[in-house]
Amino acid sequence: MQEELSFGFPILSFLTFFPLLGALVVWGMKDYEMVRKATLGIAGVEMAVAAIMLMLFVPDTAAMQFAEKHEWIPFLGISFHLAVDGVSVLFLGLTAFLTVLLVLYAWDSVTLRPKAFFMSILALETTFMGIFASIDLIVFFVFWELMLIPSYFMIKLWGPGKDCHYAALKYVLYTLMGSVFMLVGFCLLSLNYFEAKQVYSFDFIDLLSVPISLGDQLLIFWLIFLGLAFKAPVFPFHSWFPDALVQGPIPMSVMFAGIKMGTYGFLRFSLPLLPDASRNETVVAILMTLGLAAIVYGAIVAIIQPDFRRLLVFSSISHLGFVVIGLFALNFQGIQGSLITMINLGFSTAGLFFLAGFMYERLGHTDVRQCTGLAKKMPLLATFLLIIGMASIGLPGTNGFIGEFLILLGVFQAWWVYGAIAVTGVIFAAAYFLWFYERAIFGPLKESLPAVIPDLNTREWAIGVSLSVMIFWIGLYPSPFLRMVNGSVQAVVERLEPGMATAQNTRQDRSQEIFRN
Amino acid sequence: MFDLLVLLIPVFPLLAVLANGLYGSRYSHELAGRLAFGSVGLSFLCTLGVLASVLANPEPRVVIAYSWIFGGNLSIDLAFLIDPLTTIMLLVVTGVGFLIHVYSVGYMHGEEGFTRFFTYMNLFMVSMLLLVMGANYVVLFIGWEGVGLCSYLLIGYYYEKISAGKAATKAFVVNRIGDAGFLLAVFLIFSHFGSLDYTTVLSQASSLSTEMATAITICLLIGAFGKSAQIPLYTWLPDAMEGPTPVSALIHAATMVTAGVYMVVRNHVLFDMAPIALTTVGIIGGLTALFAATIGLVQNDIKRVLAYSTVSQLGYMFLACGVGAYTAAIFHLVTHAFFKALLFLSAGAVIHSLSGEQDIRKMGGLHNKIPTTHKVFLVGTLAIAGIPPLAGFWSKDEIMAHAFVHGYYHLYALAAIGAFLTSFYMFRLTYLTFYGQSRVDPPVAKHIHESPSMMMGPLLILAGLAVVGGFLGVPPEHGWFQGFLHNVATPLGSETHEVGMSMLLGLMGVAVAIAIGGWGLAHYMYSIRPQIANEWAEKFPRAYTTFLNKYYVDEAYDRFIVEPFKKLGMLWDWFDQHILDRFVVGIGKGTDISAEAITWTEKHVIYAGLNVVGYGNHLLAWSWRKLQSGMVHHYAAIIVIGLAIMIHLVVLWFAGSSSVGSSMY
C-alpha cells in the first residue's frame, strides 16, 4: 500500500487554482501595464510556492506527499485527490518555472490582445499543475482535456504562421481522439476495481491495490497508450506536432516541447498500474522499436531542416524517443534517466524555442538560409544558443548528459542491441545542432539581414541566464534532483518485478468478455 | 593538504573561466591575460606539490569531491585518481599548458576576441585536467567531451571564416563518433563490473573473458582513434589548423590529441587481456604513422605539415601500445609535447613575423631575418627527426627497439619507413622556410620582425626541454621515467627480455642512420638541387596529386557518408510531410466526407426512419462540421457534454456486465 503524507496547508490545490484565480483577476484589469505586471506577480508567487513545496518535499521516499482528498462523485468513486511523489514533483516546479519565463518572454512581444494572452498562459498553468498533481484518474483526465482549451486558443489566435487555424484544429482533434481511448482505459481500470471491491474507484492509490489479469492489462495498456502517445507525441503519431509548434506562438511551443505530459503519463499510470503489460515482450519490443525509430528518424530529419523551429520539432521527437526507450528499459537507470530527461527538456528544448523566438522577433523568420553570421551581431544569443544547444545534445557537465547517459546505460543493461542503436542518436544530435549552428551563427554576416539587429535585452538575458543556471546545476550537481526522484523510481522498478503485481486470478479474461459483447 | 592540492588543480583555471567569461568585458585585456596564464601557473605549482607527494608515496590515491550521479546500483563520484601516470600527464598539461598560455598572451595581443580566446583556453585546461585526473570513466568522459567542445570553439575562433566553421563542426562530429564508441565501452564495463571506478574495474579485470575484453577494448579504441586522430577518424585534425596557432600547439599537438594514448595506457590491463585489440592498435598506429607521413611530404601550409606530422607521431604512440611498450608510449607523448609544441609555436612566430603568411612557397631565406625563431625551430626539427641526443631520438628509438626486440618486425618496418619520411618532411619544411632564396611577397618582406619576448621566452624554455627532455628516459628501459611509471604501465605477465647491449646499440645506429638519411635527402632536394622536387612531382604526377589531395579520403567520406545521410533526411522529411501527414489528414477528411454522406443518406433515403443510428451520425457530422468550421465556442461544451455522456455510458454498460460477472461468484 502506498504511503501518503499529508500537509497542513492545501499547497497543491493552491498551486493548481491560484493561476486560474489570478487569470480572473487579470480579466478585470484595464491597463496593459497592470495586466502584465499582475501576471508576472501571479506567476512569481506561484513559482515561489512551488519552490517552497520542492524544499519541503521529503526526498528518498516513494510516499505520496502533500496529499489532499475531497469527495467529488462518490457513487463513481471519483474524488478530488491531489498528491505528488518523486515521479511528479519536479514537473510542478518546472511548470511554474517555465510560466514565469513565458510571461517574461511575452512581456513586449505580444501586441495582439495581450490581456487574453496572459490569461491563457495562467489558465494553461492551472491545467498543467492539475495534470501533474492529480492522482485520481478522472481528475487527471479533466485537466488533461481542459488543457486543450487555452492551448487551442493560443495556437489559433496568436500563432504567427498563416496556417495556425489549421494547426490548432488538427492539434485538438488529433489529441482528443487519443484521449477518448484513454478514458475508456481508465473506466476499465475502475471496473476491474469494482469486481474486486464492489465499489468504483478512479483513485490511483486504490487501483494499485487490486490485481488485473494480463489480458485486461494489455487491452488497457494500448487504450491508454493511444491517449499518451498522441499527446507525447510518440513516433509515428507526431504529425500534429510540427504544425502546432511551427504555426503556433513561441510560448505554446515552449510548453509543448518542454513539458512532457505524454511520457509522464506512461511513468505515472501505465508502468505502475499495468506492470505485466508493460513487461510484456511484445509491448516492450513495440515501444522500443518506436522509441529507436523516433531517435534516428527525428535526428536525421532534423539534420536537413533549414528552419530552426522545424529542426527543434524533430529534435524534440528524437529526444522523446530516448525517454520512451528509457522507460521501457524497465530498470532503475532507464526510468530514472527518462524522468530526469523529461525535466531536462523543459530547460534545453524549451530553452532553444525561446531562442528561436528571440531570432524570430528580430528577423521575422528562423530560416538558416536567410541568416548567417549572427555571432557578429548577437554574441549573447550565440552564447546562450551554444550553452542550451550543448545541453540538448547531452554534453557532459550539462543536464542533458545526466539524463541521456542514464537512459543509455539502463537500456544497454536491459537489451544491449537497443542501447547500441540508440547511441547513434548521440552522433546525429551533434550533427544536426552543430550544422545549424555553423550556418546560422558562424560565417560572414548575411547582407540581406537588417542593418541593426539588437542583441538580447535584459529581459531576454534573464531568461537565458535562468535556463543556463538550471542546466549547469543539474549537470554538475544533480544530487538534490536525483534524491527527489530516486525513492519513487525504486518503487516503480519494484512494482515491475515479476510476481509483484501479477494477477493471480483464474477469472475469465476481461478482454474476451468485452469483445463477446 | 594533499587532497586540497589535488582539488585546487582544476579549480584555478575554472575560476579564471568564470572571471573572464562573465566579467572579462569589464577589464583590460592585460588583466584577462594575466588571470588566464596565472591560473594555469598556479595549477602547475600545485602539480609540483602533488609530484613531491607521489614521489614519496607512489601508491594510487583517490580524492573524492562529491557524489555526482547515483541511484539504484549506480554510484559515480566526482573523484580524482592520483598515481604516477596521472602525475606525468598533469605535469605535461599544466607545464606545457602554462608556457603556451604565456606565449598566447603575446600572440593574441590586440585581438578583438582576446578575452573570449582565453576563456576557451582555460576551459580547455579544466576539461583536460578532469580527463587526466578522473578516477572513473565518467569523469574522464566529462573531460573527454569538454576538450572536444573547447577544441570546437577554438577551431571556430575566427568564426567569420566559413572554413573555420566547417572545420569546427567536422572536428566535433567526428569526435562524437569516437565518443559514441567510448560510451559503449563504458556501458559494457558497467554491465560486467557493476562499477565504473578505475580501481574496481582494473583490479578485477582478470575476471573478464577474452571476448568481453576484446569487445570493451575495441569500443575504447574507437574513442581513442577519434580523439587522437588515427585512421579512419583522423580527417578532422588537419582541418583543425583553422584555429589560432597556440591552439594547434596546445590542443592539437601537446595535450588533447594525446588523450587517446593516455586512455589506452590507463586501461592497459584490459588491453593486455585482448590480443586482438592490441594487434589492432599496433597495426592502426603503424599504418597511421606511415600514411600521415606520406601526406606530410607534399603539403605546402606550414601548419598542415605539422598537423600531419602530429597524426603520424600519435601513430607511433599507438604502435608502442600495440607492442606492449606502454611506458615508451607515454615517454614519446611527453617528448612529443615538448618538441611539437615548440614547432607549432615557432611556426606561429614565423607566421606572426610574416604578417599571417602560412604558405611555405612564400617563405624561404628567413634564417638570418629571424635568427632566434630559426634556431628554436631547428631544435624542434632535430628533435622530431630523431637526431641524438635530442628528446625525440630517445623516445622514438625506445618504441622501435621494443617492437624489434619483441618480434614485431612488420611494425618495426612501418615505423622505420615512417621515421625516414618524418626526417625528410621536417627538414624539407625547415629548408623551404628558413633557407634558400626568399620567396616572401615584397610588401610582407618589409615588415619581417622577431616576435616579442612574451612569445620568445616560452619558445626558449621548450627548446631547452626538447634538447634535454629525453634524458628522463636514459638509459633506455631503465631510466628515471621508466622506473617512475613501472607499476602503472607494465603489461601483465610480461617477461623481461634481456637484450644485449650490442643489439640495442645496433638498433640505435640504424635509427640514427635513418634520421640522417632523411635529412640528407631533404638537403639534396631542397638545398643542393632545389629544382629536383618539381621534377619529381612532374615525373610521378599520380603519386604527387594523391598525396597532395590526402588520398581523397575527405571526398570519399563526404560522398559515401555525409551526402547519403542528408539525402536520407530529405527523403524522410518528404515522407513525413507527404505520406504520414497526408494519411492523418486523409482520415480526418474521410470522416468528414463519410459524415456528409451519411447525413445526405439519412436526409434523402431514410429520412422517415429517423432512427437512433441516423441521428447519431447526424450529430457526429454536425459536430465535425462545427469543429471544422472553427466555431470554437462550441468546443468547451462538446468536451463537457461528451465527457459526461461517455462516462455515463461506459460506466453503466460495464457496471451492468460486471455485476453479472460478480454474481457468478
Nearest to A438 by CA among A347, A507, A503, A373: A373
Closest approach of A290 to chain B, Cα-based (Å): 15
Q: How far is A33 from chain B (nearest CA, A)?
A: 29
Sheet holding A4-6, edge to edge: A4-6, A64-73, A78-84
Average pLDDT over all residues of chain A? 89
Distance from CA of A153 to the nearest CA of B (A): 8
Which chain B residue is nearest to residue A411, measuring alpha carbons? B187
Query: Which of B219, B575, B651, B662 has the highest number of chain A CBs within 10 A, making it the mutation to test binding with A?
Result: B651
- pTM assigned to the model: 0.89
What stretches of B194-274 show up as alpha helix (H) in DSSP?
A: 198-203, 210-227, 236-239, 245-249, 259-266, 268-272
**Is a pLDDT exceeding 90 seen at residue A370?**
no
A169 domain-assigned = no
Count other C-beta atoms under 10 Å from residue B646's C-beta: 14
Q: Which of A312, A473, A467, A311 is nearest to A387 (CA)?
A: A467
Contact A194/B585, CB-based, under 8 Å? Answer: no
Residue A488 lies in a domain: no
- pLDDT tens string A382-393: 999 999 999 999
Decide: helix, strand or coil at residue B611: coil
Asked if A187 and B650 come within 8 Å (Cβ–Cβ), the reply is yes
Count other C-beta atoms under 10 Å from residue B52's C-beta. Answer: 12
B585 lies within 8 A of chain A by CB = yes
* B662 to A390: CB separation less than 8 angstroms, yes or no: no
Best CA proximity match to A244, nearest among A313, A150, A297: A313
Scanning every residue of chain A, which has its alpha carbon at the shortest distance from the alpha carbon of B648? A76
With beta carbons under 8 A apart, name residues in chain B contacting A426. 176, 179-180, 183
Question: Which is more confident, A403 or B544?
Answer: A403
Asked whether the beta carbons of residue A413 and residue B628 sit closer than 8 angstroms, the reply is no
Distance CA B282, CA B275 (A): 11
Report the sign of the C-alpha dihedral through residues B224, B230, B236, B237, in that order: positive
Query: What does the pLDDT look like over A15-47, one tens digit per residue?
Result: 999 999 999 999 988 888 899 899 999 999 999
Hey, is the C-beta of B632 within 8 angstroms of any chain A C-beta? yes
Cα–Cα separations (whole angstroms), residue B72 to B68, B141, B199, B247: 14, 21, 20, 42
pLDDT tens digits for A304-327? 888 999 999 999 999 999 999 999
**Are residues B654 and A413, on separate chains, in Cβ contact within 8 Å?**
no
Structural domain contains residue A109: no
- Best mutation target among B149, B176, B216, B624 (most A Cβ atoms within 10 Å) is B176
Cβ of A416 within 8 Å of Cβ of B187? The answer is yes
CB contact under 8 A, A152 and B141: no
Q: Which amino acid is at B128?
A: M
Beta bridge partner(s), residue A68 = A82
Q: Bigger pLDDT: B561 or A409? A: A409
Q: Nearest CA to CA, how far is A272 from chain B (Å)?
A: 18
Q: Verify whether the Cβ–Cβ distance B73 to A409 is below 8 Å.
A: no
The pLDDT of residue B508 is 87
For residue range A256-277, what is the model confidence (pLDDT) as tens digits? 999 999 999 999 999 999 999 9
> Are A303 and B180 an interchain contact pair (Cβ–Cβ within 8 Å)?
no
Rounded alpha-carbon distances, angstroms, from residue A372 to A198, A363, B156, B212, B570: 67, 11, 14, 48, 22
Question: What is the pLDDT at residue B354?
Answer: 84
Among all residues of chain A, which has the CA nearest to that of B175?
A: A427
Cα A19 from chain centroid (whole Å): 19
The shortest CB-CB distance from B654 to any of A156, A183, A187 is to A187
**Helix (H), strand (E), coil (C) string for A174-204:** HHHHHHHHHHHHHHHHHHHHHHHHCCCCCEH
Pairwise CB contact (< 8 Å): B145 & A396:
yes
Could you tell me the pLDDT band of residue A508, with boundaries at 50, 70 and 90?
very low
B66 lies within 8 A of chain A by CB: yes
Question: Chain-centre distance of CA A32, in angstroms?
Answer: 31
CB contact under 8 A, B169 and A435: yes
Give the residue from B554, B527, B665, B509 showing the smallest Cα distance to B304. B554
Report the chain A residue with the minimal C-alpha distance to residue B142. Answer: A396
H or E element that contains A270: none
CA distance B166 to B161: 9
Determine phi and psi for B655, rounding to 5 degrees: -60, -40
Contact between B643 and A416 using a beta-carbon 8 Å cutoff: no
**Cell numbers at residue A74, please?**
462518490
How confident is the model at residue B45, as a pLDDT? 94
Contacts of B117 (CB under 8 A, 6+ apart): B104, B108, B111, B154, B157, B244
**Three-state SS for B230?**
coil
The nearest alpha carbon in chain B to A230 belongs to B584
Residue A25 lies in a domain: no
Residue A84: name the closest of A247, A264, A258, A249 by CA.
A264
- CB contact B634 to A (< 8 Å): no
- A contacts of B183 (beta carbons < 8 Å): 405, 408, 423, 426
Count of helices and strands (H, E) across chain B: 29, 2
DSSP at B552: G
Beta-carbon separation of B657 and A333 below 8 A: no
The C-alpha atoms of residue A386 and residue A352 are separated, in whole angstroms, by 10
Query: How does pLDDT run across B76-101, given as a tens digit for each residue?
Result: 999 999 999 999 999 999 999 999 99
Residues 6+ apart with CB under 8 A from A12: A53, A66, A68, A82, A83, A84, A92, A129, A133
Does B159 contact chain A (CB < 8 Å)? yes
Three-state DSSP state, A396: strand
Put simply, the answer to whether A489 touches B71 (Cβ < 8 Å) is yes
Does A412 contact B184 at a Cβ distance shorter than 8 Å? yes
- Nearest to residue A491, comparing CAs of A313, A341, A275? A275
Helix (H) or strand (E) holding A81: strand A78-84
> Is A29 a member of any domain?
no
Mean pLDDT value across residues A203-229 = 91
pLDDT for res A383: 92
CB contact under 8 A, B173 and A431: yes
pLDDT confidence band for A512 (50 / 70 / 90):
very low
Nearest CA in chain B to A184: B650
Nearest to A300 among B145, B565, B635 (CB): B565
Interface touch B580/A239, C-beta < 8 Å? yes
* Contact residues on chain A for B184, CB-CB shorter than 8 A: 412, 419-420, 423
Cell of B615: 441521428
Domain membership of residue A362 as a residue range: 293-476
Q: Quick check: B574 contacting A, CB < 8 Å? A: no
Q: CB A430 to CB B172 under 8 A?
A: yes
Residue B493 confidence (pLDDT): 60
The whole-angstrom distance between residue A423's C-alpha and the CA centroid of its chain comes to 23
| Nearest residue to B448 via CA among B363, B513, B360 | B363
CB-based contact (8 Å) between B389 and chain A? no
B166 touches chain A (CB under 8 A): yes
Dihedral angle over CA of B251, B257, B259, B263, nearest 10? 180
Q: Number of A:B CB contacts under 8 A?
A: 210
d(CA B27, CA B362): 39
State whether residue B162 sits within 8 Å of chain A by CB: yes
Q: Which is nearest to A374 in space by CA: A314, A436, A432, A322?
A: A436
Instruction: Determine the 3-state secondary structure of A331 from DSSP.
Output: coil
Residue B441 falls in which region: left (phi positive, over 0), alpha (psi -120 to 50) or beta: beta
| A219 inside domain | no
- List the one residue out of A97, A512, A490, A227 whose CA is nearest residue B657: A512
B194 close contact with A: CB closer than 8 A: no
Q: What is the pLDDT of residue B182?
A: 94
How many domains does one find in chain A? 1
- The distance of Cα B498 from the centroid of its chain, to the nearest Å, equals 38
Residue A412 lies in a domain: yes
Collapse the DSSP code of A249 into the 3-class scheme (helix H, G, I; strand E, B; otherwise coil) and give the result.
coil
Instruction: Please check the confidence at residue A515 and state whether its pLDDT lies above 50.
Output: no
3-state helix, strand, coil in chain A (%, to 5): 70, 5, 20
Q: Which residues of A touch B70 (CB under 8 A)?
A: 479, 482, 486
> Does the beta-carbon distance from B68 to A479 stay under 8 Å?
yes
Kindly calculate the radius of gyration of chain B based on its CA atoms and give it in whole angstroms.
32
- Residue A134 is classified by DSSP as B
Residue B169 touches chain A, beta carbons under 8 Å: yes
**Residue A154 lies inside a defined structural domain of this protein:** no
Q: How many residues does chain B have?
A: 665
Q: A479 with B67: CB under 8 angstroms?
A: yes
Q: How far is B577 from chain A (nearest CA, A)?
A: 8
Residue B517, exposed/middle/buried by CB under 10 A (0-12, 13-18, 19+)?
middle
Q: Distance, in angstroms, between B642 CA and closest chain A CA?
A: 10
Residue in A153, A301, A416 nearest the CB of B572: A301
Residue A107 has pLDDT above 60, yes or no: yes
CA angle A45, A46, A52 (to 5 degrees): 90
Give every residue of chain B whose pLDDT is below 70, as ranges.
Answer: 492-499, 602-603, 605-665
Q: What is the pLDDT of residue A346?
A: 93
**Nearest partner of A342 among A485, A171, A182, judged by Cα:** A485
Residue type, A101: L
Residue of B172, B184, B632 lying closest to A434 (CB–CB): B172
